[in-house]
């Protein structure tokens, strides 16, 4: 696409949107040290279950995309299981060069919980 004259229409626009997202996160970190949320909008799906709908499959990464776009650090740690016994992840994101903060939050969470030690039941 970039070699066919679409550079300005797509790449430059994507870079502008990326910069806006990074600025929003920088402003958020003026008010907090980390942002915590789920790692994905759903728990795991069966292997091969979403191959016919790649959009649904890729949307499971939606919460982790901000870190990729902004270059800011993040970590996903276990924080429970759903009703089917599938693991749930907690995503802890921090400001640029804020690895110490996110690792400290993850460590403190794991000190008071045991989710990281539990193993999900075997699938039938």
Q: Over the stretch 52-97, which tens digit does the pLDDT of each residue have? A: 887 888 888 999 999 998 999 999 999 999 988 889 999 999 999 9
Contact yes or no for 61/40 (Cβ under 8 A): yes
Domains: count for the chain:
1
The pTM score is 0.84
Q: Which domain holds residue 71?
A: 33-117
What percentage of the chain exceeds 70 in pLDDT? 94
Terminal-to-terminal C-alpha distance of the chain? 45
Stretch (H or E) spanning 71: none
């Amino acid at each position: 696409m970039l070699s066919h004259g679409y550079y300005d229409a797509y790449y430059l626009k994507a870079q502008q949107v990326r910069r806006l997202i990074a600025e929003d996160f920088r402003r958020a970190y003026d008010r907090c040290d980390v942002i915590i949320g789920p790692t994905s909008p759903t728990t795991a799906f069966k292997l091969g279950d979403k191959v016919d709908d790649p959009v649904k499959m890729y949307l499971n990464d939606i919460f982790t995309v901000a870190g990729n776009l902004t270059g800011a650090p993040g970590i996903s740690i276990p924080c429970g299981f759903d009703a089917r016994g599938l693991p749930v992840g907690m995503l802890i994101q921090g400001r640029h060069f804020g690895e110490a903060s996110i690792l400290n939050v993850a460590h403190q969470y794991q000190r008071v919980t045991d989710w990281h030690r539990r193993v999900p039941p075997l699938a039938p």
